[in-house]
Structure 1
């Protein structure tokens, strides 16, 4: 709930009033005093709270929306936006491990398990010189029961797996561990694109909304490829952070 004991605005300050209001609300969101999904007061209530015009409130809300801190739903109201899931790209982890490390409950729904003839892209990533069948597992991934991504997993033909294992699959890396396979490293390529109609339906977003796509190829200790996987994340719920050193 927006704290009623708000700091007074400095009318004589060179900082615009809308910017001061934006900073006050942003601070309460970042400090957790305004929780994810919480409904903000109406524009009229905010006008009364800060003793400013509607135009000033709308400008402040517009800034907060641009920063990804709130979302305005027509006919419903303005809500605090759910915090994005942000992995640290320093350690090779599975989706399930990543979610658990953030206090989130990972989930998975298998959409399809197929034995397919790979296209040129999949062959290249798996290091195949001939077109031989590979297993493809398409899954919808959840964090705290919210759909946040799609995952298309391609398994190299040398790795023998039971289709029943794949249908019930929760964590591929845990499956590899049970088979005695130790992971060494992975390469990952990130791109951005818009959601197709089918992707939007599965992820509960609008067609054309931005997606973050990560193509990963993972290798074991022998430097042999053990997977090519494509993660397709909702850009409003997932982001990457890189730490660069000089």
Structure 2
């Protein structure tokens, strides 16, 4: 594949390089594990500096699309769904933004009495029923995440909503509730019998466990979410900026 930068374009050089690299790594030979050309050759071919090229490469490394090893080179990463802690979205919005097609395998809606931990988070009594949403989701080939969400009665969800729509879009457009703040806890754990059966893994297999606490503009709690992810199909990326 011939790579060429348009030096007369108003689009910054590193953005053009990033777009070209995305096309390059989509080629079958690179998807099958072939190493990318080294930085010196690539920068010469594109007629840009190595620092400009490195900006583009770093972006793709951060996104989990490329793996770079010192003294070895750069190659395409094996495909795994990833999520970033910065710029959080609902799962549907997050995956759509990454161009990943998601399938709903199961969806269950029930009204339940919250346990003490959830009731304390929502600052309500354990005698007040709340809506619980459970979903098994994943790629068209296999499921990789099981979600359990609890919603504060203040949101106004009835259970009649179309939950195939992005969750926070439902909040905002149907109930005028804007999800503004997310606090998360991430840990590794072993799949119990129930989660193992849902994700298609062996009982006791390692999985990624994520708790998400979501608040509205007034920093009032609106969602308590638990996510169980297959460790072999999901990467959680964290970006820190000083």
Normalising to structure 2: TM-score of the pair?
Answer: 0.64
| SS of the residue 1:212 aligns to | strand
CA distance in 1: counterparts of 2:183 and 2:230, whole angstroms: 21
1:56-205 aligned at under 5 Å gives the runs 82-165=78-161, 168-178=163-173, 179-205=175-201
Instruction: Decide whether aligned partners of structure 1 residues 117 and 244 sit closer, same or farther in structure 2, where only a CA change above 3 A counts.
Output: same
The structure having more radius of gyration, on CA atoms, is 1
CA distance in 1: counterparts of 2:106 and 2:152, whole angstroms: 19
| SS of the residue 2:160 aligns to | helix
Shift in Å at residue 116 of structure 1? 0.8
Shift in Å at residue 182 of structure 1? 1.6
Alignment length (residue pairs): 176
1:214-233 aligned at under 5 Å gives the runs 214-233=210-229
Whether the aligned pair in 2 keeps the contact of 1:107 and 1:170 (CA below 8 Å) is: no
Instruction: Decide whether aligned partners of structure 1 residues 159 and 182 sit closer, same or farther in structure 2, where only a CA change above 3 A counts.
Output: closer
**5+ long unaligned stretches in structure 2:** 1-24, 34-75
Instruction: Decide whether aligned partners of structure 1 residues 119 and 136 sit closer, same or farther in structure 2, where only a CA change above 3 A counts.
Output: same
Give the match for residue 235 of structure 2: 239
1:195-218 per-position Cα deviation (integer Å, ceiling 9, x unaligned): 112212211222211111111111
> Which has the higher mean CA deviation after the structures are superposed, 124-133 or 178-187?
124-133
What's the RMSD between the two structures over aligned residues?
2.7
Instruction: Decide whether aligned partners of structure 1 residues 89 and 224 sit closer, same or farther in structure 2, where only a CA change above 3 A counts.
Output: same
Instruction: Decide whether aligned partners of structure 1 residues 198 and 130 sit closer, same or farther in structure 2, where only a CA change above 3 A counts.
Output: closer
Whether the aligned pair in 1 keeps the contact of 2:148 and 2:227 (CA below 8 Å) is: yes
Instruction: Decide whether aligned partners of structure 1 residues 98 and 219 sit closer, same or farther in structure 2, where only a CA change above 3 A counts.
Output: same
1:24-82 per-position Cα deviation (integer Å, ceiling 9, x unaligned): xxxxx99863647x9xxxxxxxxxxxxxxxxxxxxxxxxxxxxxxxxxxxxxxxxx995
CA distance in 2: counterparts of 1:176 and 1:92, whole angstroms: 15
1:74-131 per-position Cα deviation (integer Å, ceiling 9, x unaligned): xxxxxx9952222121112011111112211122244421111111121122232553
CA distance in 2: counterparts of 1:134 and 1:158, whole angstroms: 10
Give the match for residue 14 of structure 2: none
Whether the aligned pair in 2 keeps the contact of 1:99 and 1:143 (CA below 8 Å) is: no
Give the match for residue 207 of structure 1: 203
